[in-house]
Chains A and B, each alone.
Chain A
Amino acid sequence: MADIATSRLSRAIRQLYRFCWIMCLVMVTACQRQSSVETKNKKAVPTASIISNDSKSPLDTTTALSTDSGTSASFQFHELPTGQGLDFTRFDDVRGLNRIQEGPGGGVALFDYDLDGRLDVYFPQGCHLPRREKTQEFSNAMFRNVDVSGVQFQNVTGPAGLQSFGYHTGATVGDIDEDGFPDLYVTAYGRSSLWKNNGDGTFQEVGESTRTVVDTWSTSASFIDLNGDGLLDLFVAGYVDATDDPPKICREPASPTGTKQCSPTLFPAVDDICLINNGSGAFTDITRDAGITGRDGKGLGVVACDVNGDRRPDLFVANDGTPCFLYVNMGNQDHLSGDSKVPKFEERAAEFGVALNGDGHATAAMGVAHGDENRDGWIDLFVTNFYLETNTLFRNLGGSGFTDASFASRLGPPSRSTLAFGAEFLDIDHDGWLDLFVATGHIEDRSWTGLEPYKMRPHLFRNDGHGHYRDLASDSGPYFRSQWVGRGTAIGDVDRDGDLDLVVAHQIDPSKLLLNDTPSPGTSIIIKPVGRSLSPRSGIGVRVVATGIVPVLMQEMVGGGSFQSASALELHLGLSPRGSFEMLELTWPDGHVDRCPNVTAGYYVAREGRGLIRIDVHR
């Protein structure tokens, strides 16, 4: 009873805290129209307003979207200068042994953990191998964004209670207990962990009590409501079974160290794990019951989104060297597992044309980006692959399957000279078309061969709106002219200037925050969705469509994506000065639809059933 009372009290305090924050930020003026189109670089967002779904305003055009791409000849990004507090270098214990564990590196999570309206950054960290040594030299790290008007970070790992040691790999974010505060799941080579956000700036590890600990090698993970009960479930991709004590070492006499990294083909695969949120503070493993039974999969990337238009989230798993999986969600099964409804999945990657690339080969798939890159209303997938393979763009054929458009889009050939991991679709220049960032870098230093580089230049592709991409990286700032060992990648508007910034987790070198300075006449709408009732509070699964415009402009807040990383739980729509749309239509995971006319550029909170609430993120 005392526990319950304490819990209620803490919940009440958190509600109050949240309420205060919202009151500070939000000024409500119902149905107020914005008469001006702000430029995207404008820092201050004017007075807030609610754009209600009950509005009867005429469907006049207030915001413009283009049907063709803008005129940007290049993108512009600059690195967050040193001294701004975001100082993180991953430790992978790379010391000439070339163990397979050293290859995939780590990811990054970009999320507003303290609900102050600013995005914070979390990095999972590695450690010395073998893990039995339990060294405590390097910890996972949380950096709080503390600057109201700019970007300044503070390492709050200790105060937040997030100090943790181990060979951690990735992170994913979602509000598992519906208390409004995003929680954090951290994957690992070894023991994964779930960090419950206490709502007071601290976290608490609840892996054991929630039964979410995975003890194998987990890489990417995704929070997503798989069974439609409004609670976030968890899918964790498993990689390979490889011991670190002693590690398997592969010999290569010609190399300076006499070793090379063993291919993942030499290790057995470990299963992916599917956990259903019981709503009682614990999860149930339903992997087998749910039909998550793909064989030999060596999962590195995962994205949970609706690929076939049935409004149920499906699961795509990027497998390293083995056919990828697409678990199509067939709806809930009749029987129950404990207190949970169990969804039924069918592995149909081959049928949907995403198991293999267009040549019929299983690629060494690493990460996966998602987005409606050709604006046909369906989510497309971009899978990053190994050196000398092409990355694969799978274009969605109206929900019936996918076609490999790697060559037709011109994304394939440039990727043969790189080995890619994290990737994100994002509209960099606000022309309404999703551009593409790809982090690259070899799994080991093979530069001694004179044939394969270790560090590589990242890709930054511009979508021309006609189905083609061009790599503009070399003209997009000093970062893109340098070479890195890039791994996880996340996107979000860190400096709150309306455009999307990038965080790239590196091996060897410090990780980087790249702030977007691309000049553009366009603007943007950023929406932070808040679900209720049978939609997860984090808004994961919500889809927003700008109606009355051809081609369609759509975004879905998916679970997972990229590589071992989590992007901000916000939707971003680029707006061009040309063209127009009638209203924004938000379809929530529980089927509820909010229609919001008269939306102008700015930052909004979307509350299910209540429309958009405009907020000033700089106050």
Chain B
Amino acid sequence: MAKLQRPAFLCIAGILIATLVAGLIRLSWISPLGSSVRRPAEISVEEYARGKEAFEARYARSADEADVLSWLGESFLSRDRFQKAVACFEAIPTTHPTYGRMARYLEGQSLLNLHRAPEAEQQLVEFIALEVATPQLDPKILIDARQRLRHILEVELRFEDLHRLLQEIVNRGEDESHEAIVFCFPTLLRWNGPDAVKWLEQFYHADAGNLQLNVALGRYRTGQGRLDEAIQILNEAVRKHPEDKAAKAALIEAMRQADDPSMPRLVDQLSPQASDDPLLLLQVRGTFAIQQNRPEVAVTAFRQLIEQNQTSAEAWHGLGQAYRLLGDDTQRKQAQTMATALGRIQNYLGKAMQEPTNLDTFLKISEICLEADLISEGMLMTRCARRIAPADQRVLTAIQQLQTRSPKKQSPLIPR
């Protein structure tokens, strides 16, 4: 009995092992991670079946889960059924060799359509970061992803993050005139327009607990003159996130605009100026120091602000005020000249945004840049001009003038 049982056992075990190995081999050969892709609850069995059928009809091969979900996701996205699209793409892991990366892009797109901005941002950032892994992707898709990310950052008033993104876009030469302008003159453009507010409100309604959205909403309310609301939102944000410098800066700014007597107390509670201070906090520090007749403190704050944003009208204007208090006429004049030049540029930026192929406008901006010693910005504006009229002598002259003026002045942030 024992003799009979042993070969049978070995036989059964062998069959089991062979089956297991064969199964593993099949999985890794056909769809290495297929087992981790599962139909999400939001997709019904019928929808899944229809998707599978459609895929197989289209590609004449058997569809696995990832095939079906990717197919369904794109289908839902094209029909504006974003919730279902998100569910489909969410089920596809980034590591999936065929669909992983595009799933992030399309999920980001779907989430943005649902106004779930923080999640959309996460997906888009992940997608962009994967570029090295799959460089063969259509560059237009990458550009589109960056544009969508730019939109999110612009709406959320995250100028620091926006600058980093635009830096990348400009470095790659993928910038259109809009990006070049926002990159060079991020704070000269009106940011509190009704459309931007509308977008942010939609973002906020989708994720009211998000700190960055709360801070942005508070800033927009400030920009709309709805200061009571702004202070309430920002107070709550600071209470929940007492260490967040951006929230604190936005609150102080709202209180300043409301002429709130408790604003100085809040400023006094600020940690000392640091290299990681957000732009708004530096502006708030400088402005408050002017109010308190402490021009040295204001100079320090505005100087750091200028290091981070050379075309900050607020900083140059504030610096002029600070030097006036210090009685330093030379520095005052220099700062005020710069502020006024930026004011003139501001006027032409509006035109450049609305008429992006108007050569004269870009030449005019680069001319004022030259006057104001904003060489890097001038160069970028001539780059825009050159795209409009590559052989135009005025463009070439402008480039030459900028190069001659001060090649060393070129900011390391901006490529030649």
Give complex CA distance A409, B343 in Å.
Answer: 24
Residue of A350, A358, A390 contacting most chain B CB atoms (<10 Å): A350
User: B276-304 interface mask toward A, CB cutoff 8 Å, 1 = contact, 0 = none?
Assistant: 00000000000100000000000000000
Instruction: Tell me if B346 counts as interface (CB < 8 A to partner A).
Output: yes
What A residues does B192 contact at CB under 8 A?
388
A360 touches B313 (CB 8 A): yes
Q: Closest chain B residue to A322 by CB distance? A: B347
Q: Closest chain B residue to A298 by CB distance? A: B347
A388 touches B193 (CB 8 A): yes
What B residues does A263 contact at CB under 8 A?
350-351, 354
Instruction: Tell me if A552 counts as interface (CB < 8 A to partner B).
Output: no
B259 touches A296 (CB 8 A): no
Give complex CA distance A265, B315 in Å.
Answer: 24
B320 touches A350 (CB 8 A): yes
Give complex CA distance A356, B340 in Å.
Answer: 7
Min CB–CB distance A397 → chain B (angstroms): 10
What B residues does A407 contact at CB under 8 A?
256-259
User: B346-359 interface mask toward A, CB cutoff 8 Å, 1 = contact, 0 = none?
Assistant: 11111100110000
What A residues does B224 contact at CB under 8 A?
388, 416-417
Contact for B344 among A266, A323, A408, CB less than 8 A: A323
B347 touches A416 (CB 8 A): no
B347 touches A250 (CB 8 A): no
Contact for A413 among B225, B315, B324, B340, CB less than 8 A: B225
Q: Closest chain B residue to A347 by CB distance? A: B340
A452 touches B194 (CB 8 A): yes
Give complex CA distance A358, B347 in Å.
Answer: 17
Q: Closest chain A residue to B230 by CB distance? A: A413
Min CB–CB distance B233 → chain A (angstroms): 15
**CB contact list, B290-335 vs A, under 8 A:** 312-318, 320-321, 324, 332-333
Min CB–CB distance A371 → chain B (angstroms): 21
Instruction: Tell me if A353 counts as interface (CB < 8 A to partner B).
Output: yes
Give complex CA distance A410, B258 in Å.
Answer: 7
Instruction: Tell me if B198 counts as interface (CB < 8 A to partner A).
Output: yes
B257 touches A360 (CB 8 A): no
Assuming A356-B313, A388-B223, A412-B257, is B336 touching A351 (CB within 8 A)?
yes
Assuming A359-B317, A390-B225, A407-B259, is B347 touching A321 (CB within 8 A)?
yes
Give complex CA distance A407, B314 in Å.
Answer: 16
Instruction: Tell me if B3 counts as interface (CB < 8 A to partner A).
Output: no
Instruction: Tell me if A374 counts as interface (CB < 8 A to partner B).
Output: no
Instruction: Tell me if A503 counts as interface (CB < 8 A to partner B).
Output: no
User: B209-233 interface mask toward A, CB cutoff 8 Å, 1 = contact, 0 = none?
Assistant: 0000000000000011101000000
Instruction: Tell me if A11 counts as interface (CB < 8 A to partner B).
Output: no
User: A375-405 interface mask toward B, CB cutoff 8 Å, 1 = contact, 0 = none?
Assistant: 0000000000000101000000000010100
B314 touches A359 (CB 8 A): yes
User: A337-364 interface mask toward B, CB cutoff 8 Å, 1 = contact, 0 = none?
Assistant: 0000000000001110101101111100
- How many interface residues does chain B have, given as a range? 35 or more
Min CB–CB distance B177 → chain A (angstroms): 14
User: A436-474 interface mask toward B, CB cutoff 8 Å, 1 = contact, 0 = none?
Assistant: 000000000000010110000000000000001000000
Instruction: Tell me if A331 counts as interface (CB < 8 A to partner B).
Output: no
A265 touches B343 (CB 8 A): no
What B residues does A351 contact at CB under 8 A?
332-333, 336
B225 touches A353 (CB 8 A): no
A413 touches B354 (CB 8 A): no
Give complex CA distance A452, B192 in Å.
Answer: 13
Instruction: Tell me if A551 counts as interface (CB < 8 A to partner B).
Output: no
Give complex CA distance A390, B195 in Å.
Answer: 19
Contact for B340 among A323, A416, A468, CB less than 8 A: A323
Q: Closest chain B residue to A417 by CB distance? A: B225
Instruction: Tell me if A414 counts as interface (CB < 8 A to partner B).
Output: yes
A266 touches B354 (CB 8 A): yes
**CB contact list, A288-331 vs B, under 8 A:** 295-296, 298, 321-323
Main secondary structure of the interface of B (DSSP, over half): helix
Instruction: Tell me if A415 counts as interface (CB < 8 A to partner B).
Output: yes
User: A411-423 interface mask toward B, CB cutoff 8 Å, 1 = contact, 0 = none?
Assistant: 0111111000000
Q: Closest chain B residue to A362 by CB distance? A: B343
A362 touches B346 (CB 8 A): yes
Instruction: Tell me if B339 counts as interface (CB < 8 A to partner A).
Output: yes
Give complex CA distance A156, B349 in Å.
Answer: 48
Assuming A266-B355, A356-B313, is B198 touching A362 (CB within 8 A)?
no
Instruction: Tell me if B252 counts as interface (CB < 8 A to partner A).
Output: no
Contact for B343 among A298, A322, A388, CB less than 8 A: A322
Contact for A401 among B193, B223, B324, B351, CB less than 8 A: B324
What A residues does B344 contact at CB under 8 A?
295-296, 322-323, 362
Give complex CA distance A390, B348 in Å.
Answer: 21
What B residues does A410 contact at CB under 8 A?
259
Give complex CA distance A468, B256 in Å.
Answer: 14
Give complex CA distance A417, B221 in Å.
Answer: 11
A355 touches B225 (CB 8 A): no
B347 touches A296 (CB 8 A): yes
Instruction: Tell me if B408 counts as interface (CB < 8 A to partner A).
Output: no
Min CB–CB distance B312 → chain A (angstroms): 8
Instruction: Tell me if B395 counts as interface (CB < 8 A to partner A).
Output: no
Give complex CA distance A148, B224 in Å.
Answer: 47
Assuming A388-B192, A388-B223, A407-B259, is B354 touching A358 (CB within 8 A)?
no
B257 touches A350 (CB 8 A): no
Give complex CA distance A409, B259 in Å.
Answer: 8
What A residues does B343 contact at CB under 8 A?
322-323, 355-356, 360-362
B347 touches A265 (CB 8 A): yes
Contact for A361 among B259, B346, B351, CB less than 8 A: B346
What B residues does A353 contact at CB under 8 A?
320-321, 324
User: A265-302 interface mask toward B, CB cutoff 8 Å, 1 = contact, 0 = none?
Assistant: 11000000000000000000000000000011010000
Q: Closest chain B residue to A361 by CB distance? A: B313
Give complex CA distance A365, B262 in Å.
Answer: 31
Assuming A413-B227, A413-B258, A452-B194, is B316 touching A360 (CB within 8 A)?
yes
A359 touches B313 (CB 8 A): yes
User: B58-94 interface mask toward A, CB cutoff 8 Å, 1 = contact, 0 = none?
Assistant: 0000000000000000000000000000000000000
Instruction: Tell me if B342 counts as interface (CB < 8 A to partner A).
Output: yes
Instruction: Tell me if B6 counts as interface (CB < 8 A to partner A).
Output: no
Instruction: Tell me if B140 counts as interface (CB < 8 A to partner A).
Output: no
Min CB–CB distance A357 → chain B (angstroms): 8
**CB contact list, A465-487 vs B, under 8 A:** 468
Min CB–CB distance A248 → chain B (angstroms): 11
B198 touches A350 (CB 8 A): no
Assuming A361-B343, A401-B324, A452-B194, is B348 touching A265 (CB within 8 A)?
yes
Contact for B339 among A350, A409, A415, A451, CB less than 8 A: A350
Instruction: Tell me if B337 counts as interface (CB < 8 A to partner A).
Output: yes
What A residues does B324 contact at CB under 8 A?
353, 401
Give complex CA distance A358, B198 in Å.
Answer: 27
Instruction: Tell me if B190 counts as interface (CB < 8 A to partner A).
Output: yes
Contact for B351 among A266, A360, A403, CB less than 8 A: A266
B190 touches A388 (CB 8 A): yes
Q: Closest chain B residue to A403 by CB distance? A: B321
What B residues does A452 contact at CB under 8 A?
194
Q: Closest chain A residue to B340 by CB distance? A: A350
B314 touches A360 (CB 8 A): yes
Given contacts A351-B332, A351-B336, A451-B198, 11 further A-B contacts (CB under 8 A): A250-B354, A298-B347, A321-B347, A350-B320, A362-B347, A388-B194, A401-B324, A408-B259, A410-B259, A415-B225, A451-B197
Would you list 18 pairs from A and B whose C-beta atoms are within 8 A, ordered by A residue? A265-B350, A265-B354, A321-B350, A322-B346, A323-B343, A350-B336, A350-B337, A351-B333, A353-B320, A358-B287, A358-B317, A359-B313, A361-B346, A362-B343, A401-B324, A407-B257, A407-B258, A413-B227
The 10 closest A-B pairs by CB, nearest first: A360-B317, A416-B225, A265-B350, A360-B313, A362-B343, A451-B194, A350-B336, A323-B343, A413-B225, A265-B351
Chain B contacts to A: CB under 8 angstroms: 188, 190, 192-195, 197-198, 223-225, 227, 256-259, 287, 312-318, 320-321, 324, 332-333, 336-337, 339-340, 342-344, 346-351, 354-355
